[in-house]
Amino acid sequence: MKNLAVIERILRNRDEFFIDIREADDLSGKMHAMLVSSIAFLALYGAVMGSTHSLWQVLSSAVKLPILFLATLMVCSPTLYFFNLIFGSNQSLTQNICLMLTAITVTAVILLSFAPIVMFFLLTTSHYQFFKLLNVGVFTVAGFVGVRFLSHGMRVVSRSGSGGAGARANVLRLWILIYAFVGSQMAWTLRPFIGAPSMQFEAFRQLGGSFYANIFASIGEILGFFTVR
């Protein structure tokens, strides 16, 4: 219940929540609640993604989706922290991680809210490429909302700091691009999340190609240009 209370506070009273982070009020408790909640929500959505194939794919996707987000966080968090330091931020590494966990938690909540819609299309269409692109669209929307929360949180937490707010805003935009590229490459490395019906279950696939090339190929198949595995 405490975990759900933290999520409700983020969504209903975000400014107060970010002020708590600025004042370093119970950061460990907040991080624990967000970590547990985001892992649970991401695992549930991952299970929905994997349900196109088999029980093994359901379990695999439920495990890999939280790993995707948390691994990307671990890779990218030092970059944001040190860039902020260079441009005059007084935030600690723990405060930075707490802000990024807030964005991930919001993203996870949005993903879970889309789960019934994704299940509806799963039950009413058998087109693998369409279902894959549908999930890419859902992740784009959820990621955008999460980034908006992160951007707002950075402004609130940095309000009591020194100058250089404009420079830090540019740093945040650059970091978001880095995070997106790292996340998409991490997702490509950990694939498949949605098992192709014509293929046997694979926990991981061989490296090769790229996330973006595969998305364009999927669009091409839907439009009837060619066929993608």
Instruction: Point out the least confidently predicted range of 7-11, 114-118, 167-171, 176-180.
Output: 167-171
Q: What angle do CA 92, 139, 100 make, to 5 degrees?
A: 5
Cα–Cα dist 215/133, whole Å:
7
What average pLDDT score do residues 121-147 get?
Answer: 90
pLDDT at 190: 87
The alpha carbon dihedral of 15, 150, 137, 4 has a sign of negative
* Residue 139 in tokens: 């992740």
The percentage of the chain sitting over the pLDDT mark of 90, rounded to a whole number, equals: 47
* Residue 125 in tokens: 């269409």
| Statement: residue 116 has pLDDT above 90 | yes
Q: Which residue has the higher pLDDT, 77 or 166?
A: 77
Decide if 32 contacts 94 (C-beta within 8 A): no
Dihedral angle computed from the Cα positions of residues 41, 124, 133 and 173, in that order, rounded to the nearest 10 degrees: -40
Cα–Cα dist 18/193, whole Å:
33
Task: Tell me the per-residue pLDDT of 189-214, one tens digit each, with 9 for 90 and over.
Answer: 888 888 777 788 887 777 766 666 66
Q: Where are the domains of the chain?
A: 2-222
Cα–Cα dist 215/89, whole Å:
38
Would you give the end-to-end CA distance of the chain in angstroms?
43
pLDDT at 220: 72
Q: Is the pTM of this model over 0.85?
A: yes
Residue by residue, DSSP assigns 173-221 as: HHHHHHHHHHHHHHHHHH--SS--TTS---SS----S-HHHHHHHHHHH
Q: What is the mean pLDDT of the chain?
A: 86
Decide if 172 contacts 151 (C-beta within 8 A): yes
| Statement: residue 226 has pLDDT above 70 | no
Q: What angle do CA 193, 190, 115 make, to 5 degrees?
A: 30
Decide if 30 contacts 157 (C-beta within 8 A): no
Cα–Cα dist 123/46, whole Å:
16
Task: Tell me the per-residue pLDDT of 12-26, one tens digit each, with 9 for 90 and over.
Answer: 999 999 999 999 899
| Statement: residue 178 has pLDDT above 80 | yes
The percentage of the chain sitting over the pLDDT mark of 70, rounded to a whole number, equals: 87
Instruction: Point out the least confidently predicted range of 45-49, 82-86, 107-111.
Output: 82-86
